[in-house]
Structure 1
Amino acid sequence: MDDNTIEIRCTTVIDQRQYEFTIPVPRALWADAEEQWRTEFLDTCRLRCAAQIQRETGVALTDEQTAGISAAPPGVADSPVALVTVTLFGGPLDGESVAVDPDDPEPGIGIIAAGCSYPGGRCWYEPNAEGRWTWKHDIPWGLM
């Protein structure tokens, strides 16, 4: 990195392994940018980080988990949420692996899937009494 560039640091933790990616941006562009542009750029950085994690590990992150990725410019401290990988059982995503927040007080996850019975909706998975993440039902977009 040179003096004309800053690095946006994206971090998250999955299965006790920290993932960290840096995305360069011209210092002048960042300094002159409006707050809305900066916010949207950080969201783009989170999406790039989530895509890289999926390429490296095969683990997909939901939109909510992607939004939870720490994306911060230099000098800004932010802590990533620690996630764990689970395998989904039943429904359209049977056998897929996803990352979930083990400390979520209301565990469950809605995931976009080609096999969802509602276009634009989500397939809902949650842990059963044994901790196995099973498909419960599909949710129409309007009820989310």
Structure 2
Amino acid sequence: MDDTITIRCTTAIDGCQYTCTMPVPRALWDDSSEEWRSEFLDTCRDRTAVYVRHETGVELTEQQTAGIAVALDRDEESEVLARLVTVTLFGGPLDGETVAVDLADPEPGIGIIAAGCSYPGGRSWYEPGADGRWAWKHDIPWGKCDG
């Protein structure tokens, strides 16, 4: 059994989706009260908004900040989460990191804000190859939505 769970926060800004993940020790989560969990998820939402603002250089509106969705990478949370699998990223600025992806997503790929991206505030684009490895393809400038 894995000793961590992953909190995944996503938001859409100007039609582009941004995703951040944060691990939390499973024992801490399992032993916490509902109130603590709720406050932790609110903190994750706020941290994601700050992270997106910092990485993109764009001030999010209150509506955009409120629109950040927080989900737990646990099978019992929803059908979508049940489809998520953790993959390891190869190449690019996020080499070796893991991220949860939905294999049923019609667009195979994910753009993730990365400090090492060649575009300030941009995202690094990863796609699955024929061998199943999620490899870096290129970086995406701020404001461009697809890979």
TM-score by length of 1: 0.50
What amino acid is the match of 1:98?
Answer: V
Q: Which has the higher contact order (CA 8 A, sep 6+)?
A: 2
Equivalence for 1:132 = 133
Task: Give the secondary structure class of the aligned counterpart of 2:143.
Answer: helix
Equivalence for 2:85 = 84
Aligned-residue CA RMSD in angstroms? 3.4
Aligned-residue sequence identity (percent) comes to: 62
For residues 22 and 108 of structure 1, what CA distance do their matches in structure 2 show?
Answer: 36
Residues 1:24 and 2:22 are matched in the alignment: no
* Change in 2 beyond 3 A, CA 1:104/1:22: farther
Give 1:23 deviation, angstroms: 3.9
Which of 1 and 2 has greater Rg? 1
Q: After the TM superposition, list the runs of 4 or more consecutive aligned residues in structure 1 that deviate by more than 6 angstroms.
A: 18-21
Residues 1:44 and 2:39 are matched in the alignment: no
Task: Give the secondary structure class of the aligned counterpart of 2:35.
Answer: strand
Q: Deviations over 1:72-105 (max 9, x none)?
A: xxxxxx7252211101011011111111112212
Contact 1:46 / 1:69 at 8 angstroms: preserved in 2? Answer: no
Gaps of 5+ in 1: 1-10, 13-17, 26-40, 51-65, 71-77
Corresponding residue pairs, total: 91
Equivalence for 1:114 = 115
* Change in 2 beyond 3 A, CA 1:22/1:127: farther
What amino acid is the match of 2:42?
Answer: T
Equivalence for 1:99 = 100
